[in-house]
Amino acid sequence: MPVFLTGLPVHVLIVHAVVVLVPLAVVGATIVAVWPAARRRYGWLTVGLTALAAACVPIATGSGEDLRDRLVPTDLIRTHAQLGDELLVFVLALLILLAALVTVDHRRGRNAAKAALEQAEPTRGPRAIVLGLALLTVGFAVTSGVQVVRIGDSGARAAWAETHYVAPAPHKGQG
């Protein structure tokens, strides 16, 4: 993968996919986890979105490593890289938990419908599993969202820490 595209680091372009997709996956996973009707209607769509977000993370970290190798090493860059490397663990955990939640809830719905047809009492166990998976999903969604913010903040600090802004000079005819 090239490190630069028309003079701009490719990492800066690729990282925007993560910056958009991970928060969308976080919001979607949270909604699906706490709202059963949304889970039934949008659960698998949200799993797909989260999978896409997870797939973009190693691409972003790989392009970041390529860029890091061309920069003067600093503590800010090392912190940013370390935080970036941790994101995949959180997003993959979110993906696995979300997929398990949607799968278990789907099977629970099928079993409840089958029990209703047979006029039998539905089992209670899967409800507790769904609740546990929903809580874990929300937890990893929040963790993933916070991690994206931390990575973005550390990346901005690494890129702009040495930049000092000054007031613009007045244009002719002004002032």
For 122-172, write each residue's pLDDT tens digit.
556 678 899 999 999 999 999 999 999 999 999 988 888 776 666 777 777
pTM check: above 0.85: no
Residue 166 falls inside a structural domain: no
Residue 150 falls inside a structural domain: yes
Residue 87 falls inside a structural domain: yes
Residue 173 falls inside a structural domain: no
> What's the domain count of the chain?
1
Beta strand pairing status for 8-9 and 4-5? antiparallel
Closest CA to 31 of 138, 157, 117, 118: 138
Residue 138 falls inside a structural domain: yes
| Cα 102-107-113 angle, rounded to 5 deg | 125
For 85-96, write each residue's pLDDT tens digit: 999 999 999 999
Six token digits for residue 60: 């972003």
Do 94 and 25 touch, CB atoms closer than 8 A?
yes
Residue 167 falls inside a structural domain: no
For 54-102, write each residue's pLDDT tens digit: 999 999 999 888 888 888 888 999 999 999 999 999 999 999 999 999 9
Residue 21 falls inside a structural domain: yes
Domain that holds residue 93: 4-159
Residue 124 falls inside a structural domain: yes
